[in-house]
Amino acid sequence: MDIREEKLYLAPLYNRFPLSIVKGEGVYVFDENNNRYLDFASGIAVNSLGYAHPKIIEAVSSQVRKLTHISNLYYTEPQVELAKRLVKLSGLDKVFFCNSGTEAIEASLKFSRRWGKEKKKYKFISTLNSFHGRTMGSLSVTGQKKYQEPFEPLIEGVTFIEFNDTKALEEELRKGDYCAVILEPIQGEGGINPARQEFIETARYLCDKYDTLLIFDEVQTGIGRTGKMFAFQHFNVIPDMLALAKGLGGGLPIGATVINSKVTESLHYGDHASTFGGNPLVTSVASVVIEEIEKLLPHINEVGNFLGKLLKEKIAPLDDVLDVRGIGLMYGIDTKSNARSICERCIEERLLVITCGKNTVRIVPPLVINEQEIEEGVYILEKVIKGGI
């Protein structure tokens, strides 16, 4: 394709890398000239089973022959089947399906307001440096001014505290008019910042004490990315609501808000809806994704440990590197030089990595990646970072 045409026809919103990708296979993608790239980005933590996974091909083809979409005016089995899996895995009560991460967050915010209506609680607590999406509600709880400022005024009643600051959390919650606290157990877009165990535990304790809901945004960390099905399982703390998207659909667009019985009891027919949400195509594929990820969890832990060890050995000691952080197959490398230009140089060396945070290189490969492929990618990263861009 002529990439100049993008500028002619598409809204000027994405600062894309100069690469047109046409297909993928396993953990590799291919450009128009059939150049092969090792993918350490997986479509921003989405393509967990890699590309052209036979189980996904089979699920898409078989469901598309039967029924792609029919709306939520009728019952469809794949939707119920996926909800059943998510309820069993999370220990929560019910599921609402939508089409993206930001919609899963919007639903969690609306459900919080619905739950808090009679109690006259409508405010939210969120954390600085968080990222919860781009629609007006999600943006309003996103703790980064650069995303918010161009669109102010946003929805009112949101207080931001420092991530991991339990004292600030208690000071706010004590005021008593908050319907929910929203947290990423590991901040993703903000720079791969894991929460402290004590912060998550205290958040749960305080939310119960002050009768406030606890929402975990696991849009990026959910569905095996961190080595457990959900990141909250590392902390042994169960939220009242869980937002999922990205890795759930194996590349098809899906979002899910999983809620506990307290939230379920506050909802009524017509309170919220989505035309496409939970359609038979995406939900039948997502069930297959979950089935595969459940089997992959030991593998993810093994290769995740391998990746962590290799990054600490080969990347952390480099002059240009300030810090290496992460868990499972989700790592960030803080650099002194420009993270974006490291990504560009990696593309020249046939490796896809992406940025996050202020100046962090993010590694979120497909969860099916093996040790040899990890070595290949870390070798390229080392070479590029050593090159001193």
Ligand X SMILES: Cc1ncc(COP(=O)(O)O)c(C=O)c1O
Residues that bind ligand X (CB under 6 A): 100-102, 105, 131-133, 184, 188-189, 217, 219-220, 245
User: Which DSSP string do the residues of 130-165 spell out, in sequence order?
Assistant: ----SSHHHHHT-B-HHHHGGG-S--S-EEEE-TT-
Sign of torsion over alpha carbons 333, 338, 340, 343: negative
Smallest separation, CB 232 to ligand X (Å): 13
Active site residue 217: yes
User: Cβ neighbours of residue 147 under 8 Å, at least 6 residues apart?
Assistant: 131, 134, 139
- d(CA 255, CA 117) in angstroms, rounded, equals 25
Q: Closer CB to ligand X, residue 59 or residue 219?
A: 219
Name the DSSP class of 366.
Answer: -
- d(CA 125, CA 169) in angstroms, rounded, equals 8
Active site residue 246: yes
Options 235, 246, 314, 334, the catalytic residue: 246
Question: Tokens 């017509």 appear where?
Answer: 270
Rounded-to-10 torsion of CA 214, 217, 221, 222: 80
Q: Closer CB to ligand X, residue 259 or residue 321?
A: 259
Which among 132, 158, 163, 129 has a CA at the least distance from the CA of 146? 129
Smallest separation, CB 176 to ligand X (Å): 27
Q: Copy the structure tokens of residue 336.
A: 């002194």
Q: Closer CB to ligand X, residue 97 or residue 210?
A: 97
Strand order in the sheet with 354-356: 321-327, 330-335, 360-363, 354-356
Q: Closer CB to ligand X, residue 184 or residue 240?
A: 184
Cβ-contact 90, 101 below 8 angstroms: no
Options 40, 131, 199, 232, the catalytic residue: 131
- d(CA 356, CA 83) in angstroms, rounded, equals 31
Give the orientation angle of helix 280-310 with respect to helix 54-66, to 10 degrees.
Answer: 170
- d(CA 195, CA 188) in angstroms, rounded, equals 11
Smallest separation, CB 255 to ligand X (Å): 7
Active site residue 93: no
Q: Closer CB to ligand X, residue 50 or residue 357?
A: 357
Q: Closer CB to ligand X, residue 266 or residue 279?
A: 279
Sign of torsion over alpha carbons 10, 25, 32, 330: positive
Q: Closer CB to ligand X, residue 131 or residue 163?
A: 131
- The set of catalytic residues is 131, 217, 246
